[in-house]
Amino acid sequence: MEITDEKLIELKEKANDIRISLIEALIKAGSGHTAGPLGMADIFTTLFFHTLNHDPKKPDWAERDRLVLSNGHICPVLYSAMAHAGYFPVEELKTLRQFGSRLQGHPHRDFLPMLETSSGPLASGLSQAVGMALADKIDHGLTSKRRIYALLSDGELESGQSWEAAMLGGKERLHNLVAVVDRNNIQIDGYTEEVMPLESLSDKWRAWNWNVIEIDGHNIEEIADAFEQAKTVFGKPTVIIAHTIAGKGVEEFEQDYRWHGNPPGKGPTDKIPADKQGEVALAELRTLGGKIKSEHQ
pLDDT tens column, 107-134? 999 998 889 999 978 899 999 999 999 9
Give the DSSP letter of residue 94: G
Provide, rounded to the nearest whole percent, the portion of the chain with pLDDT above 90: 90
CA 164: distance to chain centroid? 22
Q: 166-195: buried (b, 16+ CB within 10 Å) or exposed (e) per residue?
A: bebbbebebbbbbbbbbbbbbbeeeebeee
Confidence of residue 145 (pLDDT cuts 50, 70, 90): confident
CA distance 210 to 180: 12
Q: Tell me the β-bridge partners of 153.
A: 182
Q: Please tell me the pTM assigned to this model.
A: 0.96
> Could you tell me if 267 and 275 are in contact, meaning their C-beta atoms sit under 8 angstroms apart?
no
pLDDT tens column, 156-192? 999 999 999 999 999 999 999 999 999 999 998 899 9
- Beta pairing class for 186-187 and 190-191: antiparallel
CA distance 155 to 140: 34
Helix, coil or strand: residue 204: helix
For position 297, what pLDDT does the model report?
A: 59
CA distance 222 to 134: 28
Give the DSSP letter of residue 182: E
Q: Which helix or strand (DSSP H or E) is residue 183 part of? A: strand 177-183
Q: How many domains does the chain have?
A: 1
CA 169: distance to chain centroid? 20
Q: Which residues contact 117 (CB under 8 A, 6 or more apart)?
A: 68, 69, 107, 109, 125, 128
CA 150: distance to chain centroid? 9
Q: Tell me the β-bridge partners of 216.
A: 243
- Mean pLDDT of all residues belonging to the chain: 95
Instruction: Specify the CATH number for the domain of residue 86.
Output: 3.40.50.970
Q: Please state the rounded mean pLDDT for residues 248-268.
A: 96
Give counts: helices (H), strands (E), the chain. Answer: 10, 7
Domain that holds residue 221: 5-295
Across 33-120, the runs of DSSP E, i.e. the strands, are: 66-69
Give whole-number Cα distances, 214 to 202, 219, 227, 275, in Å: 8, 12, 11, 38
Confidence of residue 2 (pLDDT cuts 50, 70, 90): confident
